[in-house]
Amino acid sequence: MKLDLDEVTVGYKGVPVLKVVSFSLNAGEVLCILGPNGSGKTTLFKTIMKLKQPIIGKVFIDGDDISSWPFDKIAGYIGYIPQNYSPVFSYTALEMVLMGRTPRLGMWSIPNAKDIEVAVESMRSLNILHLKDKAFTKISGGERQLVLIARAIAQRTKLLIMDEPTNNLDFGNQALILSQIKMLTQKGMGVIMVTHAPEHAFLYAHKVLMVKDGHVLAYGKSEEILSEENLSKLYGLNLRLMPVVSENYPSFKVCIPGVV
């Protein structure tokens, strides 16, 4: 899996909201996108999934310009977990995971035993099989995120796009979700993830894309991009980075605002 954006400008009715974005993502990598709300991240995701055409520029998957790809091919390749997803109907958790098989089923076909086995196995791999008969709307935020990750696993996507996957989760569930994302990348999935916590990028990102005021502020390897200077510019604050001694995460730092 390789995703490349080549000088992509995105927007609405020809008016750009985010200009000249270039990045690449390989199998097993996490790209964290940091940037204020309204900076065009969701619009960029829609473009990567071909739900919007770029105003300028191209999106390539494995070297192929996706503008010629049919939608089912894209859906079989890219999984998307939006923020605070809430379905209209009261599906069970297992039914939600089974929806991940839809790109592989015909329009009117029903899931077969193999689809159900894949969905069950996906839930088991995340230790959430006990949720299978519960209503998706009645489980916790963290459990919902895990169900949606299970859906992407069942979908057999190679690339997963997550919009603030730890939004509204308690600290324990944030750590759980992030560790499951890491597990997916260790199995070769590429992940693009929006976060508002620089620490998440320090812990999990191979690459970081910072966007602000319609432009890319910085892009590259996380250890180079996550600097006091870039983070201070991004959030418009005087930020300090404090190193934390950790065997597992040798370059981990916490970000502290306003410390002189």
Instruction: Give the residue with the Cβ less far from ligand ADP, 82 or 257.
Output: 82
Residue 12 within binding range of ligand ADP, rule CB under 6 A:
yes
Smallest gap from residue 95 Cβ to ligand ADP (A): 28
Nearer to ligand ADP, 13 or 171 (CB): 13
Tokens 């900076």 correspond to 39
Specify the residue, 17 or 116, whose C-beta has the smaller distance to ligand ADP.
17
Report 122-181 residues binding ligand ADP (CB under 6 A). Answer: none
> CA 27, CA 15: separation in Å to the nearest integer?
32
Exactly one of 1, 17, 139, 197 binds ligand ADP (CB under 6 A); that residue is 17
- Alpha carbons 92 and 200: distance in angstroms, whole number: 30
Nearer residue to ligand ADP within complex by CB, 143 or 163: 163
> How many Cβ atoms sit within 10 Å of the Cβ of residue 228?
13
Smallest gap, in angstroms, from Cβ of residue 22 to ligand ADP? 18
For residues 156 and 203, what is the distance between their CA atoms, to the nearest angstrom? 25
Q: Looking up tokens 């400008």, which residue turns up?
A: 9
Q: Which is nearer to ligand ADP, 41 or 50 (CB)?
A: 41
**One-character DSSP codes across 13-30:** TTEEEEEEEEEEEETT-E
Min dist CB 126 to ligand ADP, Å, is 26
| Residue count, binding to ligand ADP (CB under 6 A) | 9
Q: Which is nearer to ligand ADP, 39 or 157 (CB)?
A: 39
Return the C-alpha torsion angle 171, 177, 179, 185, nearest 10: -150
Nearest distance in Å: CB 42, ligand ADP: 3
Question: Is the alpha carbon torsion for 131, 134, 135, 138 positive or negative?
Answer: negative
What mask, x for binding ligand ADP by CB under 6 A, covers residues 25 to 54?
------------xxxxxxx-----------
- Least separation in angstroms between residue 235's CB and ligand ADP is 14
| CA–CA distances in Å: residue 105 to residues 51, 77, 114, 132, 158 | 20, 14, 11, 21, 18
How many alpha carbons lie under 13 Å from residue 66 in its C-beta half-sphere?
29
**Residue 136 Cβ, how far from ligand ADP at the closest point, in Å?**
23
**Hunting for tokens 């057999």 — which residue is that?**
156
Q: What are the residues binding ligand ADP (CB under 6 A)?
A: 12, 17, 37-43
